[in-house]
Amino acid sequence: MAQLNSRKVKWGIIGTGGIAHQFAADMIHTSNGELHAAGSRTIESANRFAAEYKIPKAYGSYEELVNDPEVEAVYVATPHPYHHENVMGALRAGKAVLCEKPFTVNSRELEELVQYAREHKLFLMEAMWTRFLPPMVKVREWLNAGRIGEVRLVKAEFGFRMGWDPQNRLLNPDLGGGALLDAGIYPVSFASMVLGAKPEKVWSTAHLGETGVDEQFSILLSYPGGKSASLQGAIRLGLPNDAYIHGTEGYIHIPSFLFAKSATLHLDGQEPETFNDDRSFAGYAFEAEEVGRALREGRTESSVITLEESLNIMRLLDEVRSQWGLRYPFEQ
Is it true that the peptide bond before 173 is cis, omega within 30 degrees of 0? no
Q: What is the pTM of this model?
A: 0.96
As a whole number, the mean pLDDT across the chain is: 96
Superfamily of domain 2-129+284-301: NAD(P)-binding Rossmann-like Domain (3.40.50.720)
Q: What's the pLDDT score for residue 4? A: 58
- Domain locations in the chain? 2-129+284-301, 134-276+314-324
Has 101 been annotated as catalytic? yes
316: enclosing H helix or E strand: helix 307-324
Domain 2-129+284-301 identical in fold to domain 134-276+314-324: no
Confidence at residue 5, expressed as pLDDT on a 0 to 100 scale: 62
- Give pLDDT, residue 86: 98
Torsions phi, psi of 194, nearest 5?
A: -90, -45
Q: What is the CATH number of domain 134-276+314-324?
A: 3.30.360.10
CA–CA dist 164, 166 (Å, integer)? 6
Catalytic-labelled residue, pool 101, 138, 155, 227: 101
Q: Which residues lie below 8 Å from residue 235, measured CB to CB, with a gap of 6+?
A: 159, 160, 161, 162, 170, 171, 178, 179, 182, 183, 215, 216
- Separation between Cα atoms, residue 98 and residue 275, nearest integer Å: 28
Are 320 and 65 in contact by the 8 Å Cβ rule? The answer is no
pLDDT tens-digit readout, 249-279? 999 999 999 999 999 999 999 999 999 999 9
Residues 74-128: tens digit of each pLDDT: 999 999 999 999 999 999 999 999 999 999 999 999 999 999 999 999 999 999 9
Question: 38-60, pLDDT tens digit by residue?
Answer: 999 999 999 999 999 999 999 99
